[in-house]
Structure 1
Amino acid sequence: MTNRITVLGSINLDTTYHVNRMPQPGETIAASNKTSAAGGKGANQAVAAARSGASTAFIGMVGGDDAGQFMRTALAENNVDISNVFIQKDIGTGSAAIILNQQGQNSIMVYGGANHEITPATINQPAVIDTIRNSDFLIAQFETPQAATLAAFKIAREHGVKTILNPAPAKEVSAELLAYTDLLVPNETESEALTGITITDAKSLAQTGAHFAHLGVHNLLITLGSKGVYLYQEKQATVLPAYKVQAIDTTGAGDTFIGSMTAQLKPDFFNLEEAVNYGQTASSLAVQGLGAMPSIPTAAQIAVAQAKNLTSTDA
């Protein structure tokens, strides 16, 4: 059965500057190349879900500019329903400036623009409520206002829709929003921002899982980069190893993981470990290409990688 996924989130036009190394404070360096591509954490996650076969809808906002039209077209061409992607004519479309070095590591500066104009009133429109109500999963991040996310999560809970929160970029999260979150997916930095616990070893991972459980989060995935994903549930805690590949560009890897994983996930989370492994395969393919959205793999590409017995040691 095809998962029905709605993503509430950001839409950005990404511009990437390719450099040999990251600049030091106050230093000016030359970029070897400049590229532009569709992006934004929300848009990336929606496209990842759609390319993995999920029926995907989007709730978001763009500006009344060329970038906004470009992004709406990019989502629609990737089979994402843009009926609830609104246009705010007086605000620019969100954008991101990315500095990417030769090792595939990046630094990102984000201009929120129209993404910050999403409010609870946006969410409480009948068409938006219907979209959420008819979903299996609702995904959100922190590049759009938390008040809107809380309003959406409350609607989801009322209709039995599972909620997935990616607390990125790192910032404080309200206890009320966590109470409406069924699955929390931070990375190490975001996890530390929420708990105050620095993840260094198995003990600190266990402390982190217990801390989130105390806050009411009973399904937790912490992405650990090259070390894999920490999965914590009430009866299970384990680290699922990452696939070792040569990364060219890590931009959007976490988004690819979340969208692809959710496309495979059962609403009762029974197959969470299997879905995580699928998402890790997807993100391992994504980091081998340039750009966030352009490098997101399809279900067919992921199936080929899995058929080749892609493992953490021989990829």
Structure 2
Amino acid sequence: MAQGAILVVGSLNMDQVVRVTRMPVVGETLLGAGSLKLVPGGKGANQAVAMARLGGQVAMAGRVGRDPFGERLLDALETERIDASLIVADQDEASGVAFIFLSPDGDNSIIVAAGANMQVGEDEEQFARILAVLRQASALVLQLEIPIETVKRLTKAAAEIGIPVILNLAPAQSLPRATLSEVSVLILNETEASILSGQRVESVEDARIVAAVLQGYGIKTVVITLGAHGALLVTIDDAGKMHNIYQAAPRVSVVDTTAAGDCFVGALTVALTEGQPPEDALRFAVHASALKVTKFGAQSGLPMREEVLASYHS
């Protein structure tokens, strides 16, 4: 891994997407609209690709199966010039897959069969290789589609050597306070914030209250995404002063919301590792994720940096 690259440790899934007129109810069979689409995805891989397209130098660690999906998932990363040397082809498990039902308004329902993703960090040889390159990283980016124990161990290791940890709490799960206190930037949506804090998030003001609560866990920066309503970033500067920064989202025509959150994480990470001020980083991330929802597919719909910058003036 190149010195100063962003290290992503996370999931790779082959998304199997079916368009539906509405979501089926229990016991019902619906005919999909059009053909099955296969699109490279997985929260970790989506975030890695988003960072690469937005100007970041990226390496990724994870696991795939020894199957055609695994080969295609690796090809997708290499096409984006992402260092995939820390990705292992698992001997026993199949590549992860996600079954996505996409409605006409762009919303989705997703079921993930994790496969090899749930072996990330269980292989001590791979884990040792990840630790060996961690010192060279500008930041460590994690999500929760890999084993929680791996997330905890990597967060602790990064904190001990002073590498900032960006954690996307998705899919929503509880984590020990000790682990959360080692996180530099916590990114979560309204649902995830509600689950973690025990308080409902239904407005920007709710988000401000919950972000302050979560900062009490020892997290320097908490970011709560609010879908079409933008995002809120709460951070403490070096002087100990708290800043509440809100960024509204531009209005766009929604095609597919898949990976919008991953795009946000990728964009925010790139901007922060470049040293952009929090308000500029938040603006960049909100505009990037807004562009994502205008295009079909997880990785296929992720925007380029020039598109995001141009969207500021559109």
TM-score, normalised on structure 1? 0.92
Residues 204, 303 of structure 1: alpha-carbon distance in 2 compared, 3 angstrom cutoff: closer
Residue 307 of structure 2 is matched in structure 1 by 301
**What pairs up with 1:85-100 in 2 under 5 angstroms?**
85-100=87-102
Kindly provide the amino acid, as one letter, of the partner of residue 266 in structure 2: G
Structure 1 CA distance, aligned partners of 2:135 and 2:149? 19
Structure 2 portions without partners, runs of 5+: 237-241
On the 8 A contact 1:11/1:40 being kept in 2, the answer is yes
Structure 1 CA distance, aligned partners of 2:131 and 2:277? 28
Residue 288 of structure 1 is matched in structure 2 by 294
CA RMSD of aligned residues (A): 1.7
Q: 1:239 aligns with which of 222, 236, 246?
A: 246
Residue 11 of structure 1 is matched in structure 2 by 12
Is the aligned partner of 1:28 residue 2:35? no
Q: Which runs of 4+ in 1 moved over 4 A?
A: none
Residues 222, 123 of structure 1: alpha-carbon distance in 2 compared, 3 angstrom cutoff: farther
- Superposition deviation, residue 206 in structure 1: 3.0
Kindly provide the amino acid, as one letter, of the partner of residue 71 in structure 1: L
Kindly provide the amino acid, as one letter, of the partner of residue 177 in structure 1: T
Structure 2 CA distance, aligned partners of 1:115 and 1:187? 22
- Superposition deviation, residue 122 in structure 1: 5.0
Structure 2 CA distance, aligned partners of 1:253 and 1:76? 22
- Superposition deviation, residue 210 in structure 1: 2.3
- Superposition deviation, residue 15 in structure 1: 0.5
Structure 1 CA distance, aligned partners of 2:51 and 2:139? 11
Give the fraction of aligned pairs with identical amino acids, expressed as a percent.
Answer: 33
TM-score, normalised on structure 2? 0.92
On the 8 A contact 1:132/1:152 being kept in 2, the answer is no
Q: 2:209 aligns with which of 192, 201, 207?
A: 207
- Superposition deviation, residue 300 in structure 1: 2.1
CA displacement, residues 264-291 of structure 1 (integer Å, 9 cap, x when unaligned): 2147x76122111111111111111110
Q: 1:254 aligns with which of 243, 253, 261?
A: 261
- Superposition deviation, residue 53 in structure 1: 1.3
Kindly provide the amino acid, as one letter, of the partner of residue 223 in structure 2: L
On the 8 A contact 1:62/1:92 being kept in 2, the answer is yes
Is the aligned partner of 1:47 residue 2:49? yes
Residues 122, 11 of structure 1: alpha-carbon distance in 2 compared, 3 angstrom cutoff: farther
Residues 298, 107 of structure 1: alpha-carbon distance in 2 compared, 3 angstrom cutoff: same
Residue 227 of structure 1 is matched in structure 2 by 229
- Superposition deviation, residue 202 in structure 1: 4.5
Structure 2 CA distance, aligned partners of 1:161 and 1:272? 18
Structure 1 portions without partners, runs of 5+: 311-315
CA displacement, residues 59-118 of structure 1 (integer Å, 9 cap, x when unaligned): 101111111111111111111100100111210000000000000000000011000011
CA displacement, residues 150-206 of structure 1 (integer Å, 9 cap, x when unaligned): 222222223321100001011111222202100000101111110111012344223
CA displacement, residues 231-269 of structure 1 (integer Å, 9 cap, x when unaligned): 1123111321111101100000000111122112147x7
CA displacement, residues 12-69 of structure 1 (integer Å, 9 cap, x when unaligned): 0000010112222322211012211100000000000011111100010111111111
The 3-state SS of whatever aligns with 1:155 is helix
Q: How many residues align?
A: 305
